[in-house]
Structure 1
Amino acid sequence: MTQQGEIAIVGMAARVPGADNVETFWSNILDGHEAMAATDDEVARRRGVKEATLTRPEYRRVYAGAADLDLFDAEFFGLSPREAALADPQFRLFLELAHSSLAAGGYDPAGDLGRVGVYGGSTANDYREDYVEANPTVADAAGGMSIRIGNNPDYIAPLVSYKLGFQGPSLSVYTACSTSLVAVHLGVQALLLGEIDVAVAGGVQVDLPLDVGYVYEAGGIRSADGHVRPFSADASGTIFSNGGAVVVLKRLADARAAGDLIHGVLLGSAISNDGNLRAGFAAPGVDGQIKVVRAALERAGLTAREIGLMEAHGTGTVVGDPIEVDALTQAYRADTDEASYCALGSVKGNVGHLGPAAGVAGLIKATLAVREGIIPRRSTGPR
């Protein structure tokens, strides 16, 4: 097998349900902590949830969200109060995480880092329509261009490059739940091609209004009982959560030469699409997953038997999880018929489904598991 190249993870930042930083995130995972929380009806009413929704028997009073997503240090990042107020909270969070991930790696974002590429994305932007343009006085005073700059999804990565002074490629990525891992893949490829010296890659999700429940629909993707149980017989669906995560990547040789703190090494990555080889557009396909897992293993120069932990997508849904297990089983059995040598997990049992940020949150968890030599236990519920 041929090895794609060695890429070091030299910085990480996370703001996820129950944790404002990577250290607390990892501690919660080791504790088996489930970060779902109970909603408050009065808060929900103030934030626009209608009484008719609150009284529905299908309404689930549970949410998962990072703290203080409505706060932002505009002055620190050189934004005026008006610019910050007009900007999608997801833009603000991604900017904060990009800065924090570099600082955590010991870098001065304002220093000479060489060519820095930024790759990342968010979920759909409702902030512009529901919160900015819903107030005609504010919208008229701000002007269309100011509103577009702070809310057009194309600008989430370029805003980071602009505010932090980075002159490498700046790509806003939108591939739904795979967004942040596709961002990582693009950063890896750019590093291997020599286009950049540092990659900042990740994703965010801030769904508004904050900290409110959801309406359960029978047969839908959302959890029936307010818990996410990946790969479990009693799984009943997922809970979409708010937060984000970012990693900083360098070529391994460069990281070693600079004396960087190296959290982990990426040996190979691959992306693909199922095309029409699946039951429906919203359903995953077995064949496509088999092919992409095999491609990643080949590029890493590894066999399945050398993998001891698989951090999977694992949404806790009755359709997606079995398909993922089937695909992984077939992909791994191409190398070995052995069983019980590779642990299977998903961070969604701890922090819910972070949408575009879900993949990089799982990458950080897996990186720390390898770094510390610990396979975390599954979530045991709220504390």
Structure 2
Amino acid sequence: MTQHKLSDAKKYTGLEVAVVGMSGRFPGAPDLAAFWDNLRHGVESVCFFSEEELIADGRNPDVVRRPDYVGANAYMGDKEYFDAPFFNYRPDEAALMDPQIRLFHECVWNAIEDAGYDPNSPSFKAGLFAGASCNVNWELYAQLVNREGLVDEYSASLLRNANFMATMTSYALNLRGPSVFMDTACSTSLVAIHMACKSLLMGECNVAIAGGASVKNRSKEGYIYQEGMITSRDGHCRAFDEASSGTVAGDGVGVVVLKTLKNALLDKDHIYAIIKGTGINNDGSTKVGYTAPSIDGQTEAILMAQKWAGVAPDSISFVETHGTGTHLGDPIEIEALRRVFGNSSRQYCALG
């Protein structure tokens, strides 16, 4: 957490964006401090369940006993709780609200609080850029529990639909900049940050909040393993390892508060990090299939971010990767990075 000064301005292009607030909830980590502690100590946050636990929690015994069923996933604790009165929701409204929307409300508030700002201040014009997972099961459940009409159907249809997460949160917290919901699958939260940075630099808002939520309704459940698909054979994710066989799905909510670096320095904000550049693109059709990654696409996106940032590849000492642990994804990601960073006898860049 470096302290930056106005005297350092000559090092910057004027296009940098500062991270001035953060919040997050993850499996085994109710806040960022616990998450960082888990990372430091190499804690695996995937939980494994016995047949008895899964069946007692309502899973189909015939499915659970299949040889290709993997009883593992990374779930978030206490995700059923929500401080509804704080955000001016009635209990019956909160009961119908998609858990992703509930948790996102809380994390956005926590991030703003971490940044030290009051969303009701006239000078606080904040944009919100966010995404969430499709949650058909919750939408069906919410319709069933509202059969008595405690909440009118129009309002209920908004509460149970994750597509309204951004604008609903903006309304609850009086955020008056752009409010955009997006879905680009695994890249959603990072694309939200990309869009937030551009909105700041275009002057659409003076604070931009970006993040995402992905929360499953169930906790104790596993999945059917299929050879060659994305999920892991044994419930462990071993990115870039010869023993890797796939990834494991998990819950999570993450939010960052952003300002232009110039304004963050002028306002003496606490700066966690600086975003010097971002890159975004689409693979097009030059790959083996729609869901497959592309070496060329990833290479171009990385080069775009580096060009925008004005940094040389050999000045970068750490890359946080996608790292799915799949037989298709990992080699493609490594090859794209190799094309950008080149071959070197000096080991200067670590992968995470």
The TM-score normalised by the length of structure 1 is: 0.85
Do residues 327 (structure 1) and 336 (structure 2) align? Answer: yes
Is the contact made by 1:268 and 1:299 (CA closer than 8 Å) also made in structure 2? yes
Amino acid corresponding to residue 88 of structure 1 in structure 2: D
2:261 matched to which residue of 1? Answer: 252
Which runs of 4 or more aligned residues in structure 1 lie more than 6 Å from their structure 2 counterparts after TM superposition?
none
Q: For residues 264 and 272 of structure 2, what CA distance do their matches in structure 1 show?
A: 11
Do residues 194 (structure 1) and 203 (structure 2) align? Answer: yes
1:312-347 alpha-carbon deviations (Å, 9 max, x no partner): 1111111101000001100122xx7454210011xx
Larger Rg: 2
Q: For residues 32 and 164 of structure 1, what CA distance do their matches in structure 2 show?
A: 36
Q: 1:146 aligns with which of 138, 151, 155?
A: 155
Q: 2:279 aligns with which of 261, 270, 278?
A: 270
- Give how far 1:115 is off: 1.1
Q: For residues 85 and 44 of structure 1, what CA distance do their matches in structure 2 show?
A: 25
Q: For residues 161 and 325 of structure 2, what CA distance do their matches in structure 1 show?
A: 32
1:13-60 alpha-carbon deviations (Å, 9 max, x no partner): 110111111111111101111111122545534544211111111221
Q: For residues 226 and 312 of structure 2, what CA distance do their matches in structure 1 show?
A: 41
Is the contact made by 1:297 and 1:303 (CA closer than 8 Å) also made in structure 2? yes
Is the contact made by 1:127 and 1:151 (CA closer than 8 Å) also made in structure 2? no
Do residues 181 (structure 1) and 190 (structure 2) align? Answer: yes
Is the contact made by 1:3 and 1:268 (CA closer than 8 Å) also made in structure 2? no
Q: For residues 277 and 23 of structure 2, what CA distance do their matches in structure 1 show?
A: 22
Q: 1:132 aligns with which of 131, 138, 142?
A: 142
Is the contact made by 1:48 and 1:209 (CA closer than 8 Å) also made in structure 2? no
1:43-94 alpha-carbon deviations (Å, 9 max, x no partner): 5345442111111112212221121111111111111101111111011111
1:159-210 alpha-carbon deviations (Å, 9 max, x no partner): 1110000110000011000000000000000111111110110011012222
Is the contact made by 1:200 and 1:249 (CA closer than 8 Å) also made in structure 2? yes
Structure with more contact order per residue of length (Cα contacts < 8 Å, sep ≥ 6): 1
Q: For residues 313 and 14 of structure 2, what CA distance do their matches in structure 1 show?
A: 16
**Would the alpha carbon gap of residues 112 and 19 (structure 1) be closer, same or farther in structure 2, given more than 3 Å must change?**
farther
**Would the alpha carbon gap of residues 40 and 104 (structure 1) be closer, same or farther in structure 2, given more than 3 Å must change?**
farther
**Would the alpha carbon gap of residues 28 and 136 (structure 1) be closer, same or farther in structure 2, given more than 3 Å must change?**
closer
The range that moved more, 262-271 or 149-158, is: 149-158
Is the contact made by 2:138 and 2:217 (CA closer than 8 Å) also made in structure 1? no
Is the contact made by 2:51 and 2:65 (CA closer than 8 Å) also made in structure 1? no
Amino acid corresponding to residue 342 of structure 1 in structure 2: C
1:69 matched to which residue of 2? Answer: 79
- Give how far 1:278 is off: 1.1
Q: 1:288 aligns with which of 297, 303, 306?
A: 297
- Give how far 1:135 is off: 4.1
Do residues 101 (structure 1) and 108 (structure 2) align? Answer: no
Count residues in correspondence: 341
Amino acid corresponding to residue 31 of structure 1 in structure 2: H
Is the contact made by 1:153 and 1:172 (CA closer than 8 Å) also made in structure 2? no
| Root-mean-square deviation (Å) | 1.8
Q: For residues 217 and 244 of structure 2, what CA distance do their matches in structure 1 show?
A: 26
1:352 matched to which residue of 2? Answer: none
- Give how far 1:112 is off: 4.1
2:348 matched to which residue of 1? Answer: 341
% of aligned pairs identical? Answer: 39
Do residues 6 (structure 1) and 6 (structure 2) align? Answer: no
2:125 matched to which residue of 1? Answer: 115
- Give how far 1:6 is off: 0.9
1:134-171 alpha-carbon deviations (Å, 9 max, x no partner): 44635x44342122211233311001110000110000
Q: For residues 237 and 25 of structure 1, what CA distance do their matches in structure 2 show?
A: 22
**Would the alpha carbon gap of residues 32 and 42 (structure 1) be closer, same or farther in structure 2, given more than 3 Å must change?**
same
- Give how far 1:212 is off: 1.8
Is the contact made by 1:4 and 1:268 (CA closer than 8 Å) also made in structure 2? no
Is the contact made by 1:4 and 1:299 (CA closer than 8 Å) also made in structure 2? no
Q: For residues 23 and 81 of structure 2, what CA distance do their matches in structure 1 show?
A: 17
Q: For residues 150 and 136 of structure 1, what CA distance do their matches in structure 2 show?
A: 12
**Would the alpha carbon gap of residues 278 and 104 (structure 1) be closer, same or farther in structure 2, given more than 3 Å must change?**
same
The range that moved more, 71-80 or 212-221, is: 212-221
